[in-house]
Structure 1
Amino acid sequence: MKKISKSASSQILIIGYGNTLRGDDGVGYKIAEIIDQWNLNNITSLAVHQLTPDLAEKISQVDTVIFIDAIYVTDMNRAKIEIKTISINRKINNLGHHNNPEQLLSLTQAIYQKIPLAYWILVPAVNFNFSESFSSTTQKYARVTLEKIKIFLSDQSLK
């Protein structure tokens, strides 16, 4: 991924999402809450349970959006944080309660004619049972994700 230079007026939106009552699934939500506590200029961090169409307006108002979610892993030897550059999904459908970042970008472009630079960070997760705590695996990767985001926000490469 290319280094991104951000001007002082560049606006960044971080959207962490997931079910906080289903163990590791809530890691994106928790990471967004932590980033919000950093109180950084030009950065808005939202913790949401799911991606919904109303987020398109907020996405249209920024230069960069970062989505953070859990990804189920079965092979711990291959577990790693995935960071993807994402773009619009030309097939807008099912704009209900189970949207993904590409669909939200497509909706943002369709309504507001704007698409910010977008990333999707997927944090390894192993436990999706009813719980409000994270597995040790997800705790470790959440810390690494926060460090990567700190580096990115200080104008370095996200990878």
Structure 2
Amino acid sequence: RTPAGMSGPGQALLIGIGNPLRGDDGVGWHLVEGLGLQRHQLTPELAEAVAAADRLLIVDAWLAPPRSRCLLRPLVASGGWERDTHRVAPARLLALAEQLFGGCVPAHELLVPAFDFSWGERFSPQLRRQLPRARRLLRGWLQEGTVPHA
């Protein structure tokens, strides 16, 4: 049985984070729709699913400087105790998975440049121009299990 959010060969776990009602912030939800978990933020409760996966991709909006492009980069487990127990940074989630469940998985994050976080279920024209590259990087990661050259 495949746990919720797991996808395809090698049991990849995809997590799209953001708020789909805040413009570009919903791009993580949009890109993983039907492929993985959609969450407003990363929480400690996700550590067990991360530990059970063979690999992990976190997709999120990135408040980037002008002319930035999508980034697909490796994640490394790190971080100590955090005061906020309701949300965690991606590197801390990996560390929790390792500490609590012994799971040390190869992980990456796909960051999509975002420009408009106003209320509404629409993407800015700038973000829409980023979507083909974001989809290409996501497909490559799913097929290759590594960071594709794009």
> Shorter-chain TM-score: which interval?
0.7 to 0.9
Contact 2:113 2:130 in 1 (8 A): yes
Contact 1:24 1:138 in 2 (8 A): yes
Q: Secondary structure at the match of 2:44?
A: coil
Question: Which of 112, 121, 131 is the equivalent residue of 2:110?
Answer: 121
1:22-69 CA distance string (max 9 Å, x none): 110110111111x52xxxxxxxx1111111111111101111100000
Sort the Cα spacing of 1:95 and 1:112 in 2 relative to 1 into closer, same or farther, 3 A.
farther
Q: Secondary structure at the match of 2:43?
A: coil
Give 1:24's aligned residue. Answer: 24
Matched, 1:52 2:72: no
Q: Shift of residue 82 of structure 1?
A: 1.4
Stretch moving more, 147-156 or 79-88 = 147-156
Contact 2:15 2:37 in 1 (8 A): yes
Name the count of aligned residue pairs. Answer: 141
1:61-113 CA distance string (max 9 Å, x none): 111100000011242x3x11112211111313135233111111111111001
- Aligned-residue CA RMSD in angstroms? 1.8
Matched, 1:61 2:55: no
Stretch moving more, 13-22 or 93-102 = 93-102
Give 1:13's aligned residue. Answer: 13
Sort the Cα spacing of 1:95 and 1:140 in 2 relative to 1 into closer, same or farther, 3 A.
same
TM-score normalised by length of structure 1: 0.81
Contact 1:14 1:65 in 2 (8 A): yes
Sort the Cα spacing of 1:128 and 1:61 in 2 relative to 1 into closer, same or farther, 3 A.
same
Matched to 2:18, the amino acid is G
Q: Secondary structure at the match of 2:133?
A: helix
- Structure with greater contact order relative to length (CA < 8 Å, sep ≥ 6): 1
In structure 1, stretches of 5+ residues that fail to align are 1-7, 37-44
TM-score normalised by length of structure 2: 0.85
Sort the Cα spacing of 1:9 and 1:150 in 2 relative to 1 into closer, same or farther, 3 A.
closer
Matched, 1:153 2:142: yes
In structure 2, stretches of 5+ residues that fail to align are 1-7
